[in-house]
Amino acid sequence: MGKATARFAIFMCALLVVSFRGKAAGLHTEDMQTRFQHWVERIHHGDYGMIDEAASMLQKLDPNGVHWEMHDVINALLDAKQNEAAERLAMLALLSAPMDTNSVYYYQRIRLHAFLAEGKYDQALACAKGLYNVAPLGYYSENAVREVEETLRVTRRDHPEDVQRFRMEQLKAASVNRNGKGKIRRDRSTVLGSIEVDAKPFLRDLQEFLWWKTSPGRQAAGNLYLLADLPEKAHSVFQEDLLQASDPEDKMLVESVARSLRAEAGGIGPANAFVGVKPSH
């Protein structure tokens, strides 16, 4: 037992799901990799007839077990301006393994760019907010702020002041401490608070992950709550996961609680305070 306990549990859970679903689909990892590479080649030649097959496979297979090959397929669709198909497959991939925060971030970002390319601005704004909520700390968190800024710039051309207002709110929220001193209100008066998210797609299978009563299940549920813009519920789930961990300082579990604090406050300050990061000046 140690700091790697939660990560090992998540890895083993994903491995078991891959094994079960892979057998159910009648495919081995090598077969999937070869098929995905063939799909990428077909997409490069303007053949998109594999999209429904890919969607069906994603409903049977955990994308963690196929590494970057499915990422390559979805990226190829995005490059080919098949934005609706890219968003559809990215959503299926995200929902199939929501315990993997890095992959969740990656697929949510693809969905954001696909919606922007399609001119679906309400969905793009909701996607950007979900990306902000779920992003891992550090570089990804900073990148998510930039993604929200760019999305606001594109989708609210009639209100260019929103970009600057969001930036100022982030600076203010960065000074918030763990006890909430200086906390801004995360409501409709803020730019993030003004963005509405349709929670239904993320809540549909959430209870299934909670029924696992495992760390991977709780991490999955917490990430889905963040994507659904329900950070208080994510905080509760992540806090429970941390309390049940054999190592109360496990970096991944601590950062999950911090991510929910960031989403609750609409800024990085409480998250940094929770993990012990000193604010920059």
Per-residue pLDDT at 27? 53
Task: Supply 113's token pair.
Answer: 């760019």
- Residue 113, H or E segment: helix 101-118
Number of Cβ within a 10 Å radius of residue 172: 16
pLDDT tens-digit profile, the chain (281 residues): 454 444 445 444 544 443 334 433 445 566 777 888 899 999 999 999 989 988 888 877 654 454 556 888 999 999 999 999 999 999 998 998 899 999 999 999 999 999 999 999 999 999 999 999 999 999 999 999 999 999 999 999 999 999 999 999 998 888 765 554 444 445 556 899 999 999 999 999 899 899 889 999 999 999 999 999 999 999 999 999 999 998 888 999 999 999 999 999 899 988 998 988 655 54
Number of Cβ within a 10 Å radius of residue 249: 9
- C-beta separation of 273 from 254 below 8 A: no
Per-residue pLDDT at 113? 97
CA distance 174 to 59: 39
Q: Which amino acid is at 185?
A: R
Number of Cβ within a 10 Å radius of residue 152: 25
pTM confidence score: 0.84
Per-residue pLDDT at 60? 76
- C-beta separation of 174 from 268 below 8 A: yes
Per-residue pLDDT at 66? 47
Per-residue pLDDT at 20? 38
Angle between helices 121-134 and 139-155 in degrees, nearest 10:
160
Give start and end residues of each alpha helix (H) in 119-179: 121-134, 139-155, 161-173
Task: Read off φ and ψ for residue 97, nearest 5 degrees.
Answer: -150, 65
Per-residue pLDDT at 174? 80
